[in-house]
Chains A and B, each alone.
Chain A
Amino acid sequence: MLKFLAMGGYARYVWPCYALTAAVFGLNIRWALRSLTRAKAEARRRIASVRTAS
């Protein structure tokens, strides 16, 4: 296990790459879901305001 983590001496280059990738994957999921949730909330507000006006 330690040998695996050491990556033959390249650990300080290999693991940061994988950590950055995980961060980009996680953030993109969060941003995409947030963008959709906001658009839905905005659309709901718009529909509601049209209803009250009519």
Chain B
Amino acid sequence: MAWVWFHRFGSPPHFYRLATRLTPWFAWPAALLCLAGLIGGLVLAPPDYQQHDGFRIIYVHAPAAWLSLMVYVVMATSAAVGLVWRMTVAYAVSASCAVIGASFTALALATGMLYGRPMWGTYWEWDPRLTSELLLLFLYLGYLGLRNSIDDVGRADRASAVLAIVGVVNVPIIHYSVIWWNSLHQAPTVMKFGRPSMPASMLVPLLLMLAGFTAYFVALLLIRARGELLRRERNARWIAEALGAAATGKV
């Protein structure tokens, strides 16, 4: 049974239709979750006893950092699935991740600098967490650069897949950097075993933002993956059907 599902999911026309249908189901919840998280985080949550109102940066910084890692794992996993099963849909998903991941990594770094200045007294420090996150940005940029340098989509998919898979070693390094080494960066508040070290009034908005950012990413991914599928499935008959207007000769 599992294989039937796997093959259906891997069929480009099926995935294309599914992605089209699912996009609003992620886009609208994303908007609502982020709105609720913003109200909770900026208005309802009390100021932190140490960081005062400056801690409110966490509501965009932590979800951006979460996406930077999560998107990378999705990119590397789907690249591996593409390599092993030669699955077009998996390659399309992998290629869709890079720009989104790179932009959220840059956002995590930028908001982190603006967070670090008032809390640590410096925008930047060559600290394990900051340095490994910067390396993640370079991995995304390397992936994009490699793809752009190869004209053939199939070859670009395979070459960049290897880079994505090798780079995944950086993900646990980033996550555990604040535990393994002495870091300026604070230890995880939510992504850890045991109870989150935050009161509910601060935690709930953070969880809403994390869920909102994730849903937003899925919506973006579904839109981008459709484009990537169209680029890979040359001359397939289903494309004419999916594009409707072209099929009736109205081009």
Find the A residue at minimum CB distance from B110. A20
Q: What residues on B are CB-neighbors of A18 within 8 Å?
A: 60
Residue of B nearest to A33 (CB): B223
A39 to chain B, nearest CB (A): 4
Measured CA separation A18–B209 after assembly (Å): 13
Kindly identify which residue among A9, A17, A31, A50 contacts B114, using a CB–CB cutoff of 8 Å.
A17
Which residues from 19 to 52 on chain A have a C-beta closer than 8 Å to any C-beta of chain B? Answer: 20-21, 24-25, 27-29, 31-33, 35-36, 38-40, 42-48, 50-51
CB closest chain-B residue, reference A34: B227
CA distance A39 to B52 in the complex (A): 48
CB pair B118–A13 under 8 Å, yes or no, is: yes
Q: For A51, what are the chain B residues with a Cβ–Cβ distance below 8 Å?
A: 249
Contact B47 A8 (CB under 8 A): yes
Residues of B within 8 A of A43 (CB): 230, 239, 243, 246
Contact assessment for B104 and A24 in the assembled complex, using a CB-CB cutoff below 8 Å: yes
How many chain B residues sit at the interface, stated as a range, is: 35 or more
CA distance A45 to B28 in the complex (A): 32
Tell me, in angstroms, the Cα distance from A38 to B223 when the chains sit together. 12
Q: In the bound complex, do residue A20 and residue B107 qualify as a contact, i.e. CB atoms below 8 Å apart?
A: yes
- Among A7, A18, A28, the most chain B Cβ lie within 10 Å of the Cβ of A28
**Closest CB in chain A relative to B203 CB, distance in Å:** 19
Pairwise interchain contact A13-B231, C-beta atoms closer than 8 A: no
Q: Return the chain A residue nearest B118 by Cβ.
A: A13
Q: Give the residues in chain A near B191, CB-CB below 8 Å.
A: none
- Distance between Cα atoms of A24 and B107 in the complex (Å): 7
Q: Which of B173-204 contact A (CB under 8 A)?
A: none
CA distance A47 to B242 in the complex (A): 12
Give every chain B residue within 8 A of A35 (Cβ-Cβ): 223-224, 227-228
Alpha-carbon separation in the docked complex, A30 to B143 (Å): 21
Query: B251 near A: Cβ within 8 Å?
Result: yes
With A8-B47, A21-B64 known as contacts, the answer to whether A47 contacts B240 (CB < 8 A) is: yes
Residue from the set A16, A47, A51 with the largest chain B CB neighbour count within 10 Å: A47
Q: Contact string, B209-223, partner A, CB cutoff 8 A, digits 1/0?
A: 000000010001001
Q: Which of A7, A28, A47 is B100 in contact with, Cβ under 8 Å?
A: A28
- B residues near A, CB below 8 A? 42-43, 47, 52-54, 56-57, 60-61, 64, 99-100, 103-104, 106-107, 110-111, 114-115, 117-118, 216, 220, 223-224, 226-228, 230-231, 234-235, 239-240, 243, 245-247, 249, 251
> What are 22 inter-chain pairs, A to B, with CB distance below 8 A?
A8-B52, A9-B52, A10-B53, A10-B118, A13-B57, A14-B54, A17-B57, A21-B107, A24-B106, A24-B107, A25-B216, A28-B100, A32-B220, A32-B223, A39-B227, A40-B227, A44-B245, A44-B246, A47-B246, A47-B247, A47-B251, A51-B249
Q: Pick the 3 closest A-B CB pairs, nearest first.
A: A8-B53, A39-B227, A10-B54
